[in-house]
């Protein structure tokens, strides 16, 4: 049984008595679903990576981004914000020729802009990790029953988007930020019965 829905192209899949929200049948997708999505992560460069990847995903399937993830890590200096903040127009031209990433000028420029915003946060004594996690909502009392119960954005993701935009970040709308919150484990939206749900 599968039901397509949402940013991840969610599939509720039952295989050999295992239920996955999405990703069944693709080893890379299964690994991401089972061991990463909804699991708390910390660290400014790690969260920066999630923001860049979620922005790159806009208009595309998440599996496309997962398959290019290593390419992104290589192209964007392991998501070291100091290094990426120093990228020039020549670097943008170089990245537009790189098949290992999504070759979209706006998305590439947004990653550089966000790296510069993150460096500015550091210079102001702020941490992206601290800011991001300050918008964590209360834990769910019970898992979502279906994908219809999983929101596309929340008050917290709207507030997070606003806070990041105030600090100069771009491509950080409420829906993208909710997806980033899912990816970083601020929320756990695995549905009831999912093999990855930790209850």
72-102: per-residue pLDDT in tens? 999 999 999 999 999 999 999 999 999 999 9
Strand 13-15 to strand 18-20: parallel, antiparallel, or no bridges (unpaired)?
antiparallel
Average pLDDT over residues 106-123: 98
Nearest residue to 164 (alpha-carbon basis) of 189, 111, 196, 128: 128
Per-residue pLDDT of 42-75, as tens digits, reads 999 999 999 999 999 999 999 999 999 999 999 9
Task: Assess contact for 67 and 101: CB atoms under 8 A.
Answer: no
pTM value is: 0.90
* Residue 106: how many other CB atoms lie within 10 Å: 10
Using the predicted structure, report yes or no on whether residue 106 has a pLDDT greater than 90.
Answer: yes
Tell me the backbone φ, ψ of residue 20, rounded to 5 degrees: -120, 140
Structural domains of the chain sorted by starting position, each given as residue range(s) with its CATH number in brackets:
41-184 (1.10.340.30)
Report percent pLDDT > 70 for the chain.
90
Encode pLDDT of 145-158 as tens digits.
988 999 999 999 99
**What confidence score (pLDDT) does residue 147 get?**
86
- Beta carbons within 10 angstroms of residue 37's beta carbon: 22
The whole-number pLDDT of residue 6 equals 44
**What percentage of the chain exceeds 90 in pLDDT?**
83
Average pLDDT, whole number, for the chain?
91
Q: Annotated active-site positions, please?
A: 32, 54, 62
Q: Which two tokens stand for residue 42?
A: 């910390």
What integer pLDDT is reported at residue 197 of this predicted model? 84
Gap between the Cα atoms of 91 and 62, Å rounded? 25
DSSP H helices, 44-137, are 44-57, 62-75, 81-85, 89-95, 105-123, 128-133
């Amino acid at each position: 049984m599968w039901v397509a829905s949402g940013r991840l192209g969610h599939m509720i899949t039952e295989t050999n008595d295992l239920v996955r929200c999405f990703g069944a049948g693709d080893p890379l997708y299964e690994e991401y679903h089972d061991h990463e999505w909804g699991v708390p992560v910390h660290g400014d460069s790690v969260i920066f990576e999630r923001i860049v990847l979620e922005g790159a995903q806009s208009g595309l399937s998440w599996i496309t981004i997962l398959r290019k993830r290593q390419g992104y890590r290589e192209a964007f200096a392991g998501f070291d914000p100091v290094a990426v903040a120093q990228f020039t127009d020549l670097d943008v031209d170089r990245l537009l020729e790189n098949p290992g990433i999504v070759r979209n000028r706006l998305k590439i420029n947004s990653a550089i802009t966000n790296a510069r915003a993150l460096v500015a946060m550091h210079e102001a004594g702020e941490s992206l990790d601290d800011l991001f996690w300050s918008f964590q909502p209360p834990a769910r009392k019970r898992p979502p029953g279906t994908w219809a119960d999983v929101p596309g954005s929340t008050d917290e993701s709207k507030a997070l988007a606003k806070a990041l935009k105030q600090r100069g970040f771009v491509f950080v709308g409420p829906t993208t930020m909710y997806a980033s919150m899912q990816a970083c484990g601020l929320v756990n939206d695995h549905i009831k019965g999912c093999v990855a749900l930790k209850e």
